[in-house]
Amino acid sequence: MKPLFKKSPIFASLLLTLVLLLSGCLVTPIQHSGGIGSVTVTNSNPGAIIAAAQNIFPNYSYTLHSVHYPDSLSFDQASNKTARILWGSYGNPQTMRVKVLIIAIPGSNNYRISPKLYTVSDAGEAGFESKRPLIGLWNSQFSSIFEQIASQASGAGPL
């Protein structure tokens, strides 16, 4: 029996491309990672980042949902028309939840903050709440908010 990929240059080039893509993901420095909407906060600490986020998110109609010090915090916003059309149903309003991930950059007092967006059905109803993660493109709307958080929290220094 003859192997399917023994002398196929197409298979070899696809395999090489896959290996390069996967290895590239493993060597990206934290200060440049996190995906769309991520920002680096320089010379700060988790407490200052959380305080800045709690000051800024209410300006955009978000309310605090939870704080998991020092790793993350999340905010909720009543759904807009797009969310109701895409994910809602009659009598089942959607809530948009953004989770702010706080990632320490090793060897510095810098942190990377990254958004993770969900649409939530039955928000706040214990046992019935259901959340669906949204793809990274939705995170782009948080770039300006995260830049404001970084501006306010930068320079706070370590704890």
**Domains in the chain, ordered, with CATH?**
30-153 (3.30.310.80)
Q: How far apart are CA 159 and CA 156, in angstroms?
A: 8
- Classify the C-alpha dihedral 117-122-126-127 as positive or negative: negative
pLDDT band at 149 (very low <50, low <70, confident <90, very high): very high
Average pLDDT (124-148) is 83
Q: pLDDT tens, 50-98? A: 999 999 999 999 999 999 999 999 999 987 666 666 766 666 778 889 9
- Supply φ then ψ for residue 10, to 5 degrees: -65, -45
Output the average pLDDT for the chain: 82
Alpha helices in the chain (DSSP H): 9-26, 46-56, 81-87, 143-153
